[in-house]
């Protein structure tokens, strides 16, 4: 799978299209993807604020982890659990999520995600588990 194929997967979701997610890179064999979330005023935690709402960061972590597993598993996988550690406030900046499969299991898979702002500062880290398709 190449970056363009990952972008087509991303664009197949109305939510991901609305968010403006951009596929930056993919390594299907390693189960690694990078996605960029551009800043939008709708992502602010309040009117006139330039601080990103934490829920948007959590959604980005979930989506990136899902795609990292999906490119290895051959299809979409539902989230079982998600944890996020917020390390600093993202202010008026787009974000990049770098996701990596930690374990690809028959029933459950695990991905770790790092979120960086446009200046390269670490904003948040997350870990999510995903249910694998039957027969996977």
Locate 43 and state its tokens.
């992502």
pLDDT above 90 covers a percentage of the chain that reads 83
Q: What are the tokens at 26?
A: 């993919």
Residues of the chain with pLDDT under 50: none
pTM of the model as a whole: 0.94
- Residue whose token pair is 């991901």: 16
Domains in the chain, ordered, with CATH? 3-131 (3.10.129.10)
Strand order in the sheet with 79-86: 22-27, 32-37, 95-103, 108-117, 122-131, 79-86
Cβ neighbors of 118 (< 8 A, separation 6 or more) are 93, 94, 95, 96
pLDDT of amino acid 75: 83
């Amino acid at each position: 799978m190449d970056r363009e194929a990952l972008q087509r997967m991303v664009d197949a979701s109305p939510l991901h299209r609305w968010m403006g997610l951009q596929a930056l890179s993919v390594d299907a064999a390693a189960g690694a993807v990078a996605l960029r979330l551009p800043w939008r005023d709708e992502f602010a935690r309040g009117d006139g604020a330039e601080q990103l709402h934490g829920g948007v960061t959590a959604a980005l972590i979930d989506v990136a982890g899902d795609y990292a597993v999906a490119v290895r598993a051959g299809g979409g996988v539902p989230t079982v659990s998600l944890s996020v550690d917020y390390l600093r406030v993202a202010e008026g900046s787009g974000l990049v999520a770098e996701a990596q499969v930690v374990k690809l299991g028959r029933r459950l898979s695990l991905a770790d995600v790092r979120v960086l702002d446009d200046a390269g500062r670490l904003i948040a880290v997350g870990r999510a588990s995903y249910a694998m398709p039957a027969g996977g």
